[in-house]
Structures are given as C-alpha cells and as structure tokens.
C-alpha cells in the first residue's frame, strides 16, 4: 500500500535531529515564548524574505489575526469585503467571516486552479479592502497584474501560504509577495510541525506589532491589555522541530518536483486529466491533483490496488452547511469551475518519501484504469 502521507517515514528521515531538538527543549524547562520561537521566527523571516515572522498556534489563527489586526488599525471594519478564491479550504473563508468581514468568492481558472486574476477587478466595490489569495496545491496564485490591481485600488494583498512553503514568483517567495501572509505548519503541510502551529510573515512593522499583541491576550506589556486579544502561541517544542525541518524544505520540495515530472511524463489514461503544466512555473506540489469524471470509481479502484488517495476537497465552501443562510452566499451564486474542481479532484501520493519505484507502481495502476 502506498500511503497518501506516511508521516512516520517523513519524521524518521531526520528522527535523531528531532529527538535532539525536543530534548533540548525538555532540558531547558522553557516551553513558550523562548529562544526556540525566536530562532525559528528569525530563520523563517529570512527564508521568506520578510522583515517579521510572528509564530502563532495554527494557520487559521494566522489568517484571522492578519485581518483582525487590520481592523484594530482602522484599515478594515465590519462589513468590508475581501476577495478570495471560491475553491479553497474552509479556513480561508472562516478567517474572513470570523472577523465580520464579507468574503467575495471569485472563480479560479480551470488551467491554473488558482483565483482568476482577470475576474478580480469586476468584483471590487467601494467596500472592498483586501484580496486574499491562496497558493493552492503548492502553486503560485500571484502575478504582476494582481500586484498592480491591489496598488491601484488601495487593497491589502494577503496570502494564504498553507500549501506553498518554498514556492516563489520571479525569485520572491510566497509569504513576501503581498502585505501579509499566513502560514500553517499542520503536520501534513510541506513544512509541518508535530502538532498545530502557524505563523504570519510581513514586512509591515506596525502590523507585526499588533498581531504579536493580539496573539498574546492583547498585551504588549505584561499585565497591560491594549486589545481584546486571544491566546495563540507556538510551543517551543514545535519551534525547535520546525527549525530542523526548515533546513530540508528545499530538498524536500525538489523531490516533490521530481516526482511530479515523473507523473506528468508517464500518466497516460483518457479517463484521467492532469493539471495543466505551466512552463517555468515554480510549483512545490503540496498535492498532486488529478481529475476524472469517474472520480469516485477511480478512488475505490486505486484503494483496491494499494494506492491511498484523498479528495481536496469534496464540498466547496459555498455549499457548506455552516454558510447555508448567510447574506453573501446567495443561492444563485454560480461557480461552475469551482464546482467542477470539487467534483473531479483526487490527490495521489506526493511527498518527500514517495520513491520513483512507488510512483512507477502508482502510474501502472492509474494507466490500467478504464
Ligand atoms: C491547512 C490550511 C489552512 C489551515 O491551517 P491550520 O493550521 O490547519 O489551521 C488554511 N488554508 C489552507 C489553504 C490550508 O490548506
């Protein structure tokens, strides 16, 4: 059986280094807001090419805190609109609605699977305050035109980098392309911790300062509370682990790219469509999505033949029960490309421990499907 994600094998690749890092924390007796977080924050800011990295408890908090801080700064207010791709994980949308902001769902393109930048300007209204892009599946969702649109309309450009660690646009890393970016270190991400963890990167010093306070009960000075804050901090254990994993991120991503090249070269089945390859694209392949009109039959067939898969994601956000009766989610909302992706998508094994031998067997099974 080829697992979709063998976290044990991934962890054991550098098991001794992780054990040493965890031991260091245990022996220090210091578990929050210490040197490990300081070190990872400095290293990850440097890696992304930003001035500030603020570690937080998870990716959803990172997303939420960016917009919450913009509200505290008077840049956004209740009822303002944020443009966001309609095909994303629910957390991106939750972060917007939890802030009493309104998500304006924009279709992706079928070729790119990312937000259709040509449709962003028509979605802008006087209430629009920001664009939240999501680099879904490890693929860049940014281009220069988007940067220009945001400047022209004075919109904050925010990035959901939960699936794009290490991905870059013309040499600039995701996390440094806009005004602020949220990162998730959920164990299954390209850069994953041993539990929930996340971070915000930005080069806006004031924003960083507000986020840091909000994530620490709203306090900048011990026992003095400026904001109605929350507790969203990263454990020293996770920071120590992430510092180890960050060293191997580029190498891990290179392996994913090799695996993807193999899939592109060898998967050949009229019932399966591969994502359109874009020349010179920097893709870190968080997932390798394939598409089939007979997706559910294909998934069962693969399981029977020893290949574990997962659907990312079976139900699009605008069809979720939690958003059934909200004002922005009008029933006539027509998002055919989003719905098509959610109906056809299936992710096959893609990570740093899937070998070319295993890829060969996966391809054999895929190509025999009819
Ligand atoms: C994983 C993920 C998140 C949420 O991150 P958590 O750390 O699990 O809260 C947000 N957005 C996207 C696109 C994700 O894949």
317 CB within 6 A, ligand 1: no
Task: Output the DSSP codes for 22-61.
Answer: HHHHHHHT--BSSHHHHHHHHHHHHHHT-SEEEEES-HHH
C-alpha 189 – ligand 1 centre gap (Å) = 9
Q: Compute CA distances 253 → 165, 191, 234, 356, whole Å.
A: 9, 10, 24, 15
pLDDT at 9 over 90: yes
Whole-prediction pTM value? 0.98
In 3-state terms, what secondary structure has residue 218? coil
Peptide bond preceding 313: is omega within 30 degrees of 0, i.e. cis? yes
pLDDT at 164 over 90: yes
What is the rounded CA–CA span in Å between residue 162 and residue 313?
15
Q: What is the pLDDT of residue 279?
A: 83
Q: Whose CA is nearest to atom 4 of ligand 1?
A: 59
- The confidence band for 281, taking pLDDT boundaries of 50, 70 and 90, is confident
C-alpha 346 – ligand 1 centre gap (Å) = 18
336 by Cβ neighbours in 10 Å (0-12 / 13-18 / 19+) ranks as exposed
- pLDDT, tens digit, for every residue of 324-369? 999 999 877 889 999 999 999 999 999 999 999 999 999 999 999 9
352 CB within 6 A, ligand 1: no
C-alpha 305 – ligand 1 centre gap (Å) = 30
Q: What is the pLDDT of residue 334?
A: 87
pLDDT at 123 over 90: yes
- The confidence band for 64, taking pLDDT boundaries of 50, 70 and 90, is very high
Q: What is the pLDDT of residue 344?
A: 98
What is the rounded CA–CA span in Å between residue 193 and residue 160?
18
288 CB within 6 A, ligand 1: no
Radius of gyration of the chain (CA): 21
55 by Cβ neighbours in 10 Å (0-12 / 13-18 / 19+) ranks as buried
66 by Cβ neighbours in 10 Å (0-12 / 13-18 / 19+) ranks as buried
Computed over every residue of the chain, the mean pLDDT equals 97
Which ligand 1 atom is nearest residue 58's CA?
Answer: 7
- The confidence band for 280, taking pLDDT boundaries of 50, 70 and 90, is confident
What is the rounded CA–CA span in Å between residue 88 and residue 105?
10
Q: Give the distance from CA 366 to its chain's centroid.
A: 27
Q: What is the pLDDT of residue 326?
A: 94
């Amino acid at each position: 059986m080829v697992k979709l994600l063998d976290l044990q094998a991934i962890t054991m690749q550098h098991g001794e280094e992780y054990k040493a890092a965890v031991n260091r924390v245990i022996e220090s007796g210091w578990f929050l807001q210490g040197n490990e977080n300081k070190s990872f924050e400095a290293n990850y800011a440097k890696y992304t090419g930003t001035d500030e990295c603020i570690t937080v408890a998870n990716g959803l908090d990172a997303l939420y805190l960016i917009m919450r801080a913009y509200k505290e700064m008077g840049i956004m207010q209740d009822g303002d609109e944020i443009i966001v791709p309609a095909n994303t994980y629910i957390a991106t949308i939750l972060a917007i609605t939890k802030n009493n902001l309104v998500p304006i769902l924009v279709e992706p393109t079928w070729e790119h699977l990312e937000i259709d930048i040509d449709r962003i300007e028509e979605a802008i209204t006087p209430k629009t305050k920001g664009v939240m892009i999501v680099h879904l599946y490890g693929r860049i969702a940014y281009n220069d035109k988007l940067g220009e649109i945001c400047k022209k309309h004075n919109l904050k450009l925010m990035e959901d980098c939960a699936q794009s660690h290490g991905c870059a646009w013309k040499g600039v890393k995701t996390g440094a392309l806009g005004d602020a970016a949220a990162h998730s270190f959920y164990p299954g991400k390209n850069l994953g911790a041993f539990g929930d963890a996340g971070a915000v990167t930005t080069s806006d010093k004031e924003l960083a300062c507000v986020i840091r306070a909000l994530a620490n009960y709203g306090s900048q000075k011990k026992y003095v509370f400026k904001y109605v804050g929350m507790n969203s901090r990263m454990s020293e254990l996770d920071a120590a682990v992430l510092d180890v994993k960050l060293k191997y991120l580029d190498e891990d991503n290179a392996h994913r790219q090799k695996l993807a090249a193999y899939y592109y070269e060898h998967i050949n089945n009229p019932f399966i469509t591969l994502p359109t390859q874009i020349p010179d694209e920097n893709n870190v392949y968080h997932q390798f999505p394939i598409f089939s009109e007979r997706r559910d039959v294909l998934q069962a067939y693969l399981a029977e033949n020893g290949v574990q898969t997962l659907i990312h994601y079976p139900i699009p956000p605008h069809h979720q029960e939690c958003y059934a009766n909200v004002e922005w989610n009008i029933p006539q909302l027509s998002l055919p490309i989003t719905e098509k992706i959610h109906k056809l998508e299936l992710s096959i094994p893609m990570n740093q421990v899937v070998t070319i031998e295993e890829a060969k067997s996966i391809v054999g099974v895929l190509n025999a499907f009819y």
